[in-house]
Amino acid sequence: MNQAFPVMALPPLIRNAVLNAQSKTQAPMGLAALSALSAVSVVCQDLADVRRMQGLESPCSLYMLGFGVSGERKTQLDKYLMKAIRESDDRMEVDRDERERRHNARMEGWSIKKNVLREEYRKAVKQGKQTEGLEKRLEGLEVEKPVKPLSLRLLYSDATPEAIAFGLYENWPAAGIVSDEAGAILNGRAASGLAMLNKLWDGASLSVDRRSSESFTVHNARLTISLMVQPGIFEQFMHAHGDAAREIGFFARFLVAYPESTQGTRYLLDTSESDVGINFSSGIEDFGVRVEELLHQNRSNINRGCQGRPVVELSVEAQKIWRDYYNNLESEILPWGVLYSVKEAAAKMAENVARMAALFHIFERSSGFISSENVNRAINICNWFGGEFIAVFVDQKASREKLDAEVLERWIRQRVIASGHAMGPGIRKNEILQSGPLRHQKLRIEQALDYLVRNQKIRFGSYSARSPKMVYLNNPPPYIPKV
């Protein structure tokens, strides 16, 4: 989880936006990339599917999961990179309300016509008259029944999987779940909805049977998922539903990022003396322009009622590169292979490469076949995500230590600030054992402290042999005297 995100592997439009957003927020580069890829997937997923090889087609949607403690500035990243999409949703909501009013008015007129015709039919039956003509008129009236117009709702944040499925049924069947706090996806009802989300990743039809209301089926929908979750919340979810999630391979579909936190190093720079951002200062703006162009294409498709998607294919050279990558992954999921412990995710990784290459192709205004360059870019980036997946889901002990260590370091910082640096840049170790976030779990506390020492975040010390053992921050928060 400590390797730098390969930002230079991103194609120019996306890369410059990521660099620009990261320089503005000083958030981890991996989370900036996750936010940009989320936006790209949302606006491109309904414009084309991808064909890896003959007979191997899929959506180009991505599922992404980012880890970070509170304050990693993911919300600020989304503010920059998802801005055009959120503004489009706001406009579409106003348009949706107007369309619904017009539809309701047409339905009212249609219902009056139907009631009049039904009354004529009832009288004819009662009087023993011929009803064939009235039956044909009733059939014709059913054909004329106003159809509720489909609207484009692109983003959901805290809806349940079932509610999202219904949204894809009732509105245009393409959307994204983008949540800074993982929303209802990882709450107590999540286990029953994971299979739904698996089917949507596959692009398969989804039937939802409901007891209290009408059942429905979603056909040919496209869904992007981008979740940001705090480590503790994810740990709770895995404790409650981890077995169910693993059994159906839910997280195997995700690109996972758990980059090193930048908190404590996000210093304000003198921009007059810094060239930070000089080569990509318009990255966010250019990215937003391209997002808006693609949103316009999406809206045009809705207005034309065009639900068919073209298919973009890998070039011959790109197919060879992709096939070699796939075969290499396949050989490593054997019991003696390096990917055996994550074989479910490895089996999906090659498909994620093709999906990402297709997104690059569309977003960067390419034409013709998907190039070998875009496939190589996607391989480089997906390999990084693969390494993150292994660190989170395989290196259980190391992962637990990191989660505990980040929570503990944050708590120590808050205590130092709250105490007004009464004991300098540290606190007593006993205070951690008795009052800290892992209190009464001595083994986990010791492992977390050891992790922080190894990573040069803290050091131990004491005033004398008889004084209490202290834990000092190596990069303490600044002391701000109270006025």
pLDDT digit string, tens, across residues 404-447: 888 888 898 888 888 777 667 788 888 888 888 887 778 788 88
Model confidence at 1: pLDDT above 60 = no
Mean pLDDT of all residues belonging to the chain = 84
- Tell me if 420 sits within 8 A of 464, measured CB to CB: no
Beta bridge pairs of residue 224: 176
Q: How far apart are CA 15 and CA 36, in angstroms?
A: 9
pLDDT tens-digit series, residues 203-237: 988 888 775 677 888 888 999 999 988 887 887 78
Q: How far apart are CA 141 and CA 370, in angstroms?
A: 48
**Polymer length of the chain:** 483
Q: Scanning the structure block, which residue is given the tokens 């660099």?
A: 19
**What's at 150, amino acid-wise?**
L
Both tokens of 151, joined, read 């609207």
| Residues 375-384 pLDDT 10s | 999 999 999 9
270: confidence class by pLDDT, cuts 50, 70, 90? low
Share of the chain above pLDDT 70, in %: 89
Edge-first strand listing for the sheet containing 426-428: 426-428, 470-473, 458-461
Instruction: Give pLDDT, residue 31.
Output: 93
β-pairing, 155-156 with 174-179? Answer: parallel
> For residue 348, what is the DSSP state?
H
Give the CA distances from residue 248 to residues 194, 235, 245, 252, 327, in Å, rounded to whole numbers and listed in that order.
8, 18, 6, 9, 23
Between 275 and 451, the more confident residue is: 451
Closest by Cα among 182, 198, 156, 164 to 235: 182
Question: What pLDDT, on a 0 to 100 scale, did the predictor assign at position 271?
Answer: 59
Contact (CB, 8 A) for 64 and 34: yes
Please check whether residue 458 is in contact with residue 471, taking contact to mean a CB–CB distance below 8 angstroms.
Answer: yes
Predicted confidence (pLDDT) at residue 334 exceeds the cutoff of 80: yes
Among 100-109, 139-148, 264-273, 457-466, whose mean pLDDT is lowest? 264-273
Domains of the chain (ranges; CATH) run 7-90+151-263+275-391 (3.40.50), 397-473 (1.10.10)
Local confidence band at 373 (pLDDT 50, 70, 90 cut-offs): very high
Question: According to the per-residue pLDDT averaged within each range, which of 52-61, 110-119, 301-310 is highest?
Answer: 52-61
- Amino acid letter, 132: E
Other beta carbons within 10 angstroms of residue 309's beta carbon come to: 18
Q: Provide mean pLDDT across the span 1-9.
A: 83
| Whether residue 121 has pLDDT greater than 50 | yes
The stretches of 394-454 forming alpha helices (DSSP H) are 396-418, 429-435, 442-454
**DSSP 8-state secondary structure symbol assigned to residue 359:** H
What are φ and ψ of residue 409, in 5° steps? -60, -40
Q: What is the pTM of this model?
A: 0.73
Neighbour-count burial for 330-361, b at 16+ CB within 10 Å, e otherwise? eeebeeeeebeebbbbbbbbbbbbbbbbbbbb
Q: Are 250 and 348 in contact (CB under 8 A)?
A: no
Q: Compute the average pLDDT of residues 296-319.
A: 86
d(CA 300, CA 306): 8
User: Computed from CA positions of residues 347, 352, 353, 355, in that sequence, does the dihedral angle turn out positive or negative?
Assistant: positive
Kindly state the DSSP code that residue 422 receives in the 8-state scheme.
B
Which carries the bigger pLDDT value, residue 345 or residue 127?
345
* Residue of 456, 369, 470, 353 lying closest to 422 (CA atoms): 470
Judged against a pLDDT cut of 90, whether residue 50 lies above it is answered with: yes
Amino acid at position 205, single letter: S
pLDDT of residue 413: 87
Measured CA to CA, the distance from residue 136 to residue 128 in angstroms comes to 17
